[in-house]
A and B are shown apart, each in its own frame.
Chain A
Amino acid sequence: EDKVVQSPLSLVVHEGDTVTLNCSYEVTNFRSLLWYKQEKKAPTFLFMLTSSGIEKKSGRLSSILDKKELFSILNITATQTGDSAIYLCAVRQGGSEKLVFGKGTKLTVNP
């Protein structure tokens, strides 16, 4: 059965800290891995990763994929209270548009 596992499930840090969120997956015919940020409503897109070892970066957020070890990490540096959210990892299989989601990591950044 295809699955996506995120860790930790929750994380509490102070402003300015750096955090690393993990996502491992077991899917047949992997095509791409996506990271989303979910605050009170629906998820907003952060990154899509398809190739190993190529870092995607957007401001204080960055992500990288390891297709050999079947995992991805999402890094957030100099965290701010506005980074508090649930971060979702999803994997798309080749030949399908379906996304398989992990349970998410709930990040709380305290001032």
Chain B
Amino acid sequence: GAVVSQHPSWVICKSGTSVKIECRSLDFQATTMFWYRQFPKQSLMLMATSNEGSKATYEQGVEKDKFLINHASLTLSTLTVTSAHPEDSSFYICSARDPGIAETQYFGPGTRLLVL
């Protein structure tokens, strides 16, 4: 099956710093990747759709200047949380669709961010 990786799996940082999270499709090319955020005991909330070679599409209420997304290649998308604050602490998960497997999105293992 399709494999999606994320790095790092854990991040602890000080308030005000920026954190970059990478999402890679390992065995397929993904023109579209998705970034989700999950707070404790809550469901996954889509933050943005990352499109290779073009600007990301952000969901309502998500600040595009705070959550910078770059999808520079068919196998890599990055999410940068700029000037992180404690309220940004969450579980960030990416997913990618394998065009060869009927519309199914495959998720990365997630990145847990803790901002002190």
Interface residues, chain A, with chain B CB atoms under 8 Å away? 31-32, 34, 36, 41-45, 48, 88, 90, 92, 97-104
Contact = CB atoms under 8 A, between A and B. Distances in A.
B43 A97 contact: no
- Top 3 nearest A-B pairs by Cβ distance? A42-B107, A42-B110, A103-B43
Contacts of A97: 32, 34, 49, 97, 103, 105
Interface of B: 1, 6, 32, 34, 42-46, 49, 93, 95, 97, 102-110
Contact of A42 (B1, B43, B97, B109): B109
Nearest to A48: B104
Main secondary structure of the interface of A (DSSP, over half): strand
Contacts of B43: 88, 101-104
B97 to A, nearest CB: 6
Interface centre among B34, B44, B102 (most CB of A within 10 A): B44
Contacts of A88: 43-44
